[in-house]
Homo-oligomer: A and B are copies of this chain.
Amino acid sequence: MVHSDIIRVGVNGYGVIGKRVAAAVRQQDDMILVGVADVSADWRLRLAARMGFSLYGAAPGAALAMQRAGLPVAGDLDDLIASVDVMVDCTPKGIGAANAEVYRRKDKPFIVQGGEKHEVAGHSFVAESSYAGALGRPATRVVSCNTTSIVRTLTALKQAGLLRRARGTLLRRATDPWESDRGGIMNTLAPEPQIPSHQGPDAQSVDPDLDVVTMAVKVPETIAHLHYWSVQMTRAADKAEVVAAFLASSRIAAIRMDDGLTALNSVKELMADLGRPHDNLYEVALWTDMLRVQGDELFYAYMVDNQAIVIPETIDAIRALSGRIAAPAVSIARTDSSLGIGALDRLGPPDQVGDS
């Protein structure tokens, strides 16, 4: 690979998503991480510096505050934008929309996260569904963790010709594991006030053909989301066929209750045992022994690591915007290989997958 093939990437916002994107960019042999921009100067940024990331001030005064905190600073946001091929915005909801104007004004391809509206980028991204549409675009939006999981799984059913309509109940972790100031709920469940919840329509921003309705509820845990689905198929099918349809996607991993993976936390421990950074679960982890087919109806549940699932999509989105790789499957395979995606399925004895 010659130097000009390397995609130079900047990350704005070094939080839950930003730090994972930065680490993942570094693991790509066709990308280089130019730096990360942020507005704070506490232990998080000291860790970024320790990781060897170049730091940029993301707002007026931020660079100065970093310097005062003893952090090495490479410049401000404008400097970072000027030095990259693609900007990945990982700032909190709403701020990304404002930043989008800046990137656009500078004619710099950019990615925003799922907290922003579809209109901010004009395109919504899940690799296996909409990579091609993002090729060479000025911007795309990597949809939220929940929506990403919905599009991945329903696309798998759709590609197998099995999907008529899907109705899901989404149990949302109330806040992130590191967070102790905001969003916690204790000994209660808090339904989202509206049915349908926004995730169904959001999935349609990626693929308008999906017939999907979601209901959502906030639950008192921090590890991951959990989805339950009731799907009307186009016809009766047997369980093996359905499982095969799901596992045709490298980003849906089979897990099994009878293997001891009986709850969200044991799956998360498996990720730690795998040695993944931050115990990231990039895949939709779907219980294949729990999955049930009843005539033309299908029932299943899966786990979504809200901190990690969008990381591979973001890497693919960078490639799509850069236009360097046209074939979705090529980018996906490269991302998967770099992040160790697929390891889960290779762990289990293949003859056990899907039977019950």
Contact = CB atoms under 8 A, between A and B. Distances in A.
A220 interface: yes
A43 B186 contact: no
Contacts of A43: 259-261, 270, 273, 347-348
Contact of A277 (B195, B213, B269, B275): B275
Interface stretch (A58-66, A72-80, A121-129, A221-229): A221-229
A262 B292 CA distance: 33
Interface in A323-344: none
B263 A190 contact: yes
A193 interface: yes
Contact of A186 (B44, B70, B187, B297): B187
A266 B45 CA distance: 14
Contacts of A4: none
Contacts of A207: none
Contacts of A186: 174-175, 180, 184-187, 220-222
A220 B219 contact: yes
- How many protomers of this protein does the assembly include? 4
Given A185-B184, A188-B264, A270-B47, A195 B257 contact: no
Contacts of A290: 191, 193-195
A243 interface: no
A273 B259 CA distance: 30
Contacts of A261: 43
A236 B261 CA distance: 41
Contact of A347 (B47, B167, B169, B181): B47
A189 B228 contact: no
Nearest to A273: B47
A214 to B, nearest CB: 9
A211 to B, nearest CB: 11
Given A19-B273, A220-B219, A42 B260 contact: yes
A345 interface: no
Interface string A263-297: 11110111011110111000000010111101001
A178 to B, nearest CB: 4
Contacts of A268: 177-178
B223 A221 contact: no
Interface string A161-176: 0000001010100110
Contacts of A311: none
Contacts of A258: 193
A70 B223 CA distance: 31
Interface string A136-153: 000000000000000000
A217 interface: yes
B260 A195 contact: no
Contacts of A228: 169, 215, 217
B196 A292 contact: yes
B230 A269 contact: no
A24 to B, nearest CB: 14
A17 to B, nearest CB: 14
A269 B179 CA distance: 9
Given A177-B269, A184-B184, A191-B263, 17 more contacts: A43-B347, A47-B270, A47-B274, A69-B349, A167-B230, A167-B297, A174-B186, A175-B186, A178-B266, A179-B265, A180-B185, A184-B220, A185-B263, A189-B264, A191-B226, A195-B292, A217-B301
